[in-house]
């Protein structure tokens, strides 16, 4: 896996270096980390841990415009932690995330929390990919009638309910999630069955409209 990651990151010497050192740490005692001062250790550790995430989600946590990889920068730490734990347990399925949330990559709860806090502090510089802009009124209507009650009108994160911000997310990612969840695709479901039931009532035009509408709302502000 270390080899695969290095190949993935061959264009970024920093990521390769961090990754290489993390691979060493993963397979040998982290003597140097233990010797580092208490204040330095988490900074170096967090950088090494986040290098894995950055390889896919980008250094700003901005994700990938085509919808394969969501933007995660500035999502609340508690929401990121919750999702990492769900991937780790296999409750939420995605082979890549299940791999990178495993105990080889994130040793314990403390490392999960550290990387989640780092993600929460990222300001996205990658703009969200949008739709074609033709169905924004429909998207706004569907949002306010079916979704805003739980997610809030502004589609920001609702940390107390474990809800990630959808505002400023890449439209193709949201559209994909809505489609996969409503199909009940094996491995795809992220959410409860009742959520899937809402999604089933959405037509393809509704899904595209919602995704476009949400992608244009301001993304979450990083937490300090
Ligand atoms: C190999 C690529 C890859 C790596 C490395 C990776 N991710 Fe992901 N991540 C994904 C993909 C793909 C998804 C979307 C999965 C899905 O479709 O449900 C995702 C989803 C997520 C989500 C859920 C977002 C949401 O809105 O529901 C969080 C949180 C997340 N990743 C955090 C991280 C963190 C933190 C790391 C580093 C420890 C990391 N990821 C490493 C590819 C990756
Ligand atoms: C009854 C409350 C409720 C309603 C209504 C609701 N949601 Fe959600 N939604 C949630 C909760 C809670 C989560 C986080 C749960 C989780 O990740 O397991 C969530 C998560 C999501 C996610 C996953 C984000 C991600 O990638 O992690 C999407 C997309 C979403 N909702 C879209 C919608 C849309 C669109 C509607 C309206 C059609 C809607 N929701 C209606 C409660 C609700």
Residue 108 lies in a domain: yes
To the nearest whole number, what is the mean pLDDT of the chain? 83
The first and second tokens of residue 56, run together, are 């896919």
Confidence of residue 93 (pLDDT cuts 50, 70, 90): confident
Give percent of the chain with pLDDT exceeding 70.
76
The helix/strand/coil state of 158 is: strand
**What is the arithmetic mean of pLDDT over 108-122?**
97
Any atom of ligand 2 within 6 Å of the Cβ of 141: no
pLDDT for 190: 56
DSSP-derived secondary structure letter, 28: S
Q: Of 63, 96, 120, which residue constitutes the final position of a domain?
A: 120
Whether residues 28 and 110 share a domain: the answer is yes
> Which of the listed residues 19, 57, 196 should we mutate to test ligand 1's pocket, taking the one with most ligand atoms within 8 A of CB?
57
Query: Contact at 8 Å (CB) between 77 and 116?
Result: yes
pTM: 0.85
Can you give the CATH number for the domain in which 143 is found?
1.10.760.10
The span from the CA of 119 to the CA of 75, in Å, is 7
With a cut of 80, say whether residue 132 has pLDDT above it.
Answer: yes
Among protein residues, the one with the nearest Cα to ligand 1's atom 31 is 97
Any atom of ligand 2 within 6 Å of the Cβ of 191: yes
Any atom of ligand 2 within 6 Å of the Cβ of 171: no
Question: Which atom of ligand 2 approaches the CA of 192 most closely?
Answer: 18
Whether residues 204 and 142 share a domain: the answer is yes
Residue 125 lies in a domain: no
Give DSSP secondary structure letters for 98-112.
HHHTSTTTS-SHHHH
Whether residues 6 and 113 share a domain: the answer is yes
Q: Is residue 155 exposed (0-12), middle (13-18) or buried (19+ Cβ within 10 Å)?
A: buried
Whether residues 179 and 101 share a domain: the answer is no
The helix/strand/coil state of 200 is: helix
Which of 198, 130, 135, 143 shows the shortest CA–CA distance to 169?
130
Whether residues 60 and 154 share a domain: the answer is no
Q: What's the gap between Cα 60 and its chain centre? A: 11
Whether residues 6 and 102 share a domain: the answer is yes
With a cut of 60, say whether residue 122 has pLDDT above it.
Answer: yes
Residue 129 lies in a domain: no
Query: Contact at 8 Å (CB) between 52 and 5?
Result: yes
Residue 11 lies in a domain: yes
Whether residues 110 and 156 share a domain: the answer is no
Element (H, E) at 113: helix 109-120
Whether residues 109 and 28 share a domain: the answer is yes
Residue 224 lies in a domain: no
The span from the CA of 97 to the CA of 108, in Å, is 16
Query: Contact at 8 Å (CB) between 222 and 74?
Result: yes
Residue 42: how many other CB atoms lie within 10 Å: 17
Among protein residues, the one with the nearest Cα to ligand 1's atom 17 is 94
With a cut of 50, say whether residue 58 has pLDDT above it.
Answer: yes
Whether residues 59 and 105 share a domain: the answer is yes
User: 37-41, 133-137, 181-185: which has the minimum mean pLDDT?
Assistant: 37-41
Whether residues 115 and 154 share a domain: the answer is no
Whether residues 96 and 164 share a domain: the answer is no
Give me the domain span that covers residue 211: 136-215
**Residue the block writes with tokens 């919808």:** 67
With a cut of 90, say whether residue 61 has pLDDT above it.
Answer: yes
**What is the arithmetic mean of pLDDT over 72-98?**
94
Residue 86 lies in a domain: yes
Number of domains comprising the chain:
2
DSSP-derived secondary structure letter, 219: P
**What is the arithmetic mean of pLDDT over 119-139?**
98
- Sign of the four-CA dihedral 198, 203, 207, 213: negative
With a cut of 90, say whether residue 182 has pLDDT above it.
Answer: no
Whether residues 38 and 97 share a domain: the answer is yes
Which of 169, 182, 181 shows the shortest CA–CA distance to 210?
169
User: 32-46, 50-64, 145-159: which has the minimum mean pLDDT?
Assistant: 32-46
User: 11-15, 124-128, 177-181, 185-189: which has the minimum mean pLDDT?
Assistant: 11-15
Q: Of 92, 120, 148, which residue constitutes the final position of a domain?
A: 120
Residue 221 lies in a domain: no
Residue 201 lies in a domain: yes
């Amino acid at each position: 896996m270390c080899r695969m990651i290095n190949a993935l990151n061959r264009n970024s010497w920093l990521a390769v270096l961090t990754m290489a050192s993390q691979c060493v740490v993963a397979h040998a005692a982290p003597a140097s980390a233990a010797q580092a001062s208490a204040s330095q250790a988490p900074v170096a550790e967090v950088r090494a841990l986040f290098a894995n995430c950055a390889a896919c989600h980008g250094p700003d946590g901005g994700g990938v415009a085509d919808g394969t990889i969501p933007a995660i920068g500035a999502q609340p730490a508690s929401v990121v932690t919750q999702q990492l734990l769900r991937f780790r347990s296999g409750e939420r399925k995605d082979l890549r995330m299940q791999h990178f949330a495993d105990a080889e990559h994130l040793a314990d709860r403390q490392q999960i929390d550290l990387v989640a806090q780092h993600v929460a502090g990222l300001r996205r510089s990658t703009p969200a990919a949008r739709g074609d802009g033709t169905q924004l009124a429909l998207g706004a209507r569907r949002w306010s009638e079916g979704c805003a009650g739980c997610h809030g009108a502004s589609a920001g994160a609702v940390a107390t309910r474990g809800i990630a911000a959808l505002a400023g997310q890449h439209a193709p990612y949201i559209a994909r999630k809505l489609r996969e969840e409503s199909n009940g695709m094996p491995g795809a479901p992220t959410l409860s069955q009742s959520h899937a039931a809402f999604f089933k009532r959405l037509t393809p035009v509704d899904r595209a409209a919602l995704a476009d509408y949400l992608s244009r709302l301001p993304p979450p502000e990083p937490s300090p």
